[in-house]
Amino acid sequence: MVNTIKVPPDGGYAWVIVLANAISNLIIVPLIQTFGLIFKDTFAAMGLSATQGSLIINLNAAFGMIMGLFNGLLLKVFGYRKIAMTASLLTTLGIIMTAYSSTFTHFMISYGLITSLGMGMNMSAYSLALNSYFRKNRGKAVGYAMTITGLGPILMPQLINVLMKMHAVQGVTLILAGIAAHSFVAASLLQPVKWHLKTEIVEETKEEKKTEETKIQLYRSVSQIEKKSLDNSNESLDGLENGPIYGLDSALAGSVMSLHSVKRRASVVSQNWKKASIRSLNAREIVYNPEMTKPIKKKTSWERVSNFFDLDLFKDPIYVNIMIGLSLAVFAEINFSLLTAFILNEFGLTTDQIATFMSILGIADIIFRFLAPYIGQFLNLTPRPMYVFTLFMLMVTRFSLLISNNYFILLGVALGLGIAKGIRTVYMSLVIPTYVPIEKLASAGGLQMMVNGFCILIGGPIIGKIRDITGSYTLCIVTLNCITFSTIVIWTMEAVIRKINAKKSLKTEPLEQSDTLL
């Protein structure tokens, strides 16, 4: 038997989506990483403490993510194209307002809230678009998009370094707002995937056909049990004799049950008919079956909200573990990235040297974003193990930053950070899509971003407070490494538990199989 299904294009216009994703991230992502480079002197002149500066930066990273749950809802209602357009508008407007900010409160509103909301919506929209267009080539698509995106961290620090020598902070920020406005072009390229779906022919194998025929025979056997029980009853059933009242025919049309569940169903039907009683009501006689006549409960408000936002994902312990692990790792990585300029400034590096450090990091980053899919294929590892591998690399390179303040050694650290970040960026984007089905991906991504946001918002000021108390960023880096290591620990524990459960199921499987044959 031959069937046809609609599948993502995995090519053609899908590569335009990759380009749109890359252009948008090329413009937006460096704005977060270079904020400290632009405003480090401004914050000092304003007399802001490390805690206040950290709060502004972390609020920007967190608020858009906290709204991730609602981003998932908006994506379901309006689609990724309209949300991407709105994100471009908010980001551009937020940066313009940041240029004119002069107080802690102004920065909190303009950069911490408005710009952040635009960035968060932007990330959600392009992530869903990319994953909707690809199935088989998803890893390569993300790798290519992230490779082009990697040009931003290379070019932007040098551009800002040049602009800072020509303009005041306000002028530089307004130029960045003009650059951010180009994200409207990328958003206009996000066409709905339904316009480009392709038809794929699926041929049913002999084994699948044989299994389906066996199931149909079992369903017919169940129907015969019902009919025989009905004929042996002492009363006739007016109006019900021409069809099985258990809805097995409709079940056959709508879904296919497993062989084991069908056999169990036949047994249950037989027992129910033995227990069934016939009652007369208004001269009509019906079969009374307690299981089938339970009143249908109306969904509560909470149940409707839960279904709408796919909150049932929280019932999946594997998804919850993935989400917690990602949130902790993302918190550590974002805080380290945002504080890099401040850390290097504390080491006594000039703006030119900091820009060079970040550019080397960006060059290594972009090269290994391109190589990441091929490294994964060579090592034959799925996204999560590859992501864990990069977390180890990040921990080592961050710790190396504490060993020496020598400029050339720091450039070597920048190279190591870039390699780890390049591979991490690609596989971080694939961890959830690899596990969650596409129909729940928008909600899963939104929930993930929301938890990320809360982690960053709560933990960010703590990192700033550690800096204020100790007077240096050394303990901050150690703390961030410990948080990263916690992700490795909880994911390793999950892998061990799943392996133990798999061994147990293998031992009990022969018993279950013999039971089903009785």
pLDDT in tens, 260-276: 444 444 444 444 444 44
Tell which residue, 423, 199, 453, has the closest CA to residue 326.
453
pLDDT category, 258, cuts 50, 70, 90?
very low
Based on the number of CB atoms within 10 Å of its own CB, is 499 exposed (0-12), middle (13-18) or buried (19 or more)? exposed
pLDDT category, 506, cuts 50, 70, 90?
confident
pLDDT at 484: 92
Which segments of 290-428 are extended strands (E)? none
**Which of 3-7, 47-51, 343-347, 385-389 has maximum average pLDDT?**
385-389
Sort strands 277-281 and 2-7 into parallel, antiparallel or unpaired: unpaired
pLDDT at 387: 92
**Which of 203-212, 258-267, 329-338, 487-496 has maximum average pLDDT?**
487-496
pLDDT at 248: 30
Distance CA 177, CA 91 (A): 8
The token duo for 44 is 């000092």
Question: What backbone phi and psi angles, to 5 degrees, belong to 364?
Answer: -65, -40
Distance CA 14, CA 202 (A): 22
Q: In angstroms, how far is CA 443 from the centroid of its own chain?
A: 9
Radius of gyration of the chain (CA): 29
pLDDT at 456: 79
SS (H, E, C) 291-327: CCCCCCCCCCHHHHHHHHHCHHHHHCHHHHHHHHHHH
pLDDT at 325: 92
pLDDT at 241: 34
HSE of 244, CA atoms in CB hemisphere, 13 A:
21
Distance CA 334, CA 397 (A): 15
**Mean pLDDT calculated for residue range 76-83:** 87
**Mean pLDDT calculated for residue range 414-438:** 86
Angle between helices 14-33 and 169-180 (to 10 degrees): 170
Distance CA 239, CA 227 (A): 14
What is the number of other CB atoms lying within 10 angstroms of the CB of residue 246? Answer: 21
Of the two residues 339 and 235, the one the predictor is more confident about is: 339
pLDDT category, 49, cuts 50, 70, 90?
confident
Based on the number of CB atoms within 10 Å of its own CB, is 424 exposed (0-12), middle (13-18) or buried (19 or more)? buried
Which segments of 129-241 are extended strands (E)? 198-203
Is 90 exceeded by the pLDDT of residue 93?
Answer: yes
The token duo for 149 is 């995106």
**Which of 76-80, 202-206, 511-515 has maximum average pLDDT?**
76-80
SS (H, E, C) 3-57: EEEEECCCCCCHHHHHHHHHHHHHHHHHHHHCHHHHHHHHHHHHCCCHHHHHHHH
Distance CA 322, CA 324 (A): 6
Is 80 exceeded by the pLDDT of residue 115?
Answer: yes
pLDDT at 32: 66
What angle is formed at CA 181 by the lines to CA 177 and CA 432, rounded to 5 degrees?
A: 100
pLDDT at 370: 81
Is 50 exceeded by the pLDDT of residue 507?
Answer: yes
For residues 465 and 343, the answer to whether their CB atoms sit within 8 Å is no
pLDDT at 493: 93
What is the number of other CB atoms lying within 10 angstroms of the CB of residue 469? Answer: 10
For residues 29 and 358, the answer to whether their CB atoms sit within 8 Å is no
Of the chain, the percentage scoring pLDDT greater than 70 comes to 76
Tell which residue, 334, 362, 436, has the closest CA to residue 36.
334
**Mean pLDDT calculated for residue range 80-107:** 90
pLDDT at 250: 31
Sort strands 284-288 and 2-7 into parallel, antiparallel or unpaired: unpaired
**Mean pLDDT calculated for residue range 229-240:** 44
Q: In angstroms, how far is CA 164 from the centroid of its own chain?
A: 36
In the chain, the amino acid numbered 318 is I
Is 70 exceeded by the pLDDT of residue 1?
Answer: no
pLDDT in tens, 440-499: 877 787 788 788 888 877 887 788 788 888 877 888 889 999 999 999 999 999 989 988
Burial 381-402 (b: 16+ CB within 10 A, else e): eebbebbbbbbebbbebbeebb
**Which of 131-135, 208-212, 244-248, 492-496 has maximum average pLDDT?**
492-496
Q: Which distant-in-sequence residues (6+ apart) come within 8 Å of 87 by Cβ?
A: 118, 119, 120, 121, 122, 125, 183, 187
- State pTM to two decimals: 0.60
**Mean pLDDT calculated for residue range 296-325:** 78
Q: What is the mean pLDDT of the chain?
A: 75
187-191, 273-277, 355-359: lowest mean pLDDT where?
A: 273-277
